[in-house]
Structure 1
Amino acid sequence: MNKGYWVVAYRSISDESALKAYGELAAVAIAANGGTLLARTTGRLEVHEAGLQQRTVVVEFASFEQAQRTYASEAYRTALRALGTGAERDFRIVEGVDQ
C-alpha cells in the first residue's frame, strides 16, 4: 500500500488569526488520523522554474486512503470552518510511489 500525502500551497493569506486557529485544529485532526507533518515553510524557501514564494505544507499518511479519510473527517472539517476565507490554497492529496 502506497503512502498518501497532503501537499498544500498557500496562494494568499488574508486572516492570520483564522490561519492560526485552523493550524491548531488541523494538527489535532492530522495527529488523530496518524498523519505526520513533513514540511511547513516558516522561513527559507527556494523556488525554481515557475515556482512561487508561497507557504507550503506537506503531510504524510500511511496510505492514500487514510489521507482521504482525514480530509473528510469531522475534526478536519472543523478546522476548515475555522479557516473560512482566511486563505486561498492549492490543496492536493497525492499517492506516493512504490518503494
Structure 2
Amino acid sequence: MNKGYWVVAYRSVSDESALKNYGELAEVAIAANGGTILARTTGGLEVHEAGLKQRTVVVEFASFELAQRTYASEAYQAALRALGTAAERDFRIIEGLEQ
C-alpha cells in the first residue's frame, strides 16, 4: 500500500486569524487519522523555474486512501468551514511511490 500525501500551496491569505484557527482544527483531524505534518513553510523557501514563493504544507498518511478519508472526515470539514474564504489554496492529494 502506497503512502498518501497532502501537498498544499497557499496562493493568498486574507485573514491570518481564521488561518490560525483552521490550522489548529486541521492538526487535530490530521493526527486523529495518523497523519504527520512533514513540512510547513515558516520562512525558509527557495523556489526554482516556474515556482512561486507561496506558503506550503506537506502532510504524510499511511495510505492514499487514508489521506482521502481524512480530507472527507467531519473533523477536517469543520476545519475547512473555519477557514472559509480566508485563503486561496492549491490542495492536492497524491499517492506516493511504491515502496
Q: Which runs of 5+ in 1 are unaligned?
A: none
Identity across matched positions, percent: 87
Q: Does 1:43 align with 2:39?
A: no
Q: Does 1:33 align with 2:33?
A: yes
Q: How does 1:6-21 map to 2 (within 5 A)?
A: 6-21=6-21
Residue of structure 2 equivalent to 1:5: 5
Residue of structure 2 equivalent to 1:61: 61
Residue 97 of structure 1: SS of its match in structure 2? coil
Q: Which runs of 5+ in 2 are unaligned?
A: none
**RMSD of aligned Cα (Å):** 0.4
How far is 1:23 from its partner?
A: 0.1
Q: TM-score, normalised by structure 1?
A: 0.99
Deviations 1:54-77 (A, max 9, x none): 000000000000000000000000
Q: How does 1:52-91 map to 2 (within 5 A)?
A: 52-91=52-91
Q: TM-score, normalised by structure 2?
A: 0.99
Report runs of 4+ in structure 1 exceeding 4 Å deviation: none
How far is 1:32 from its partner?
A: 0.2
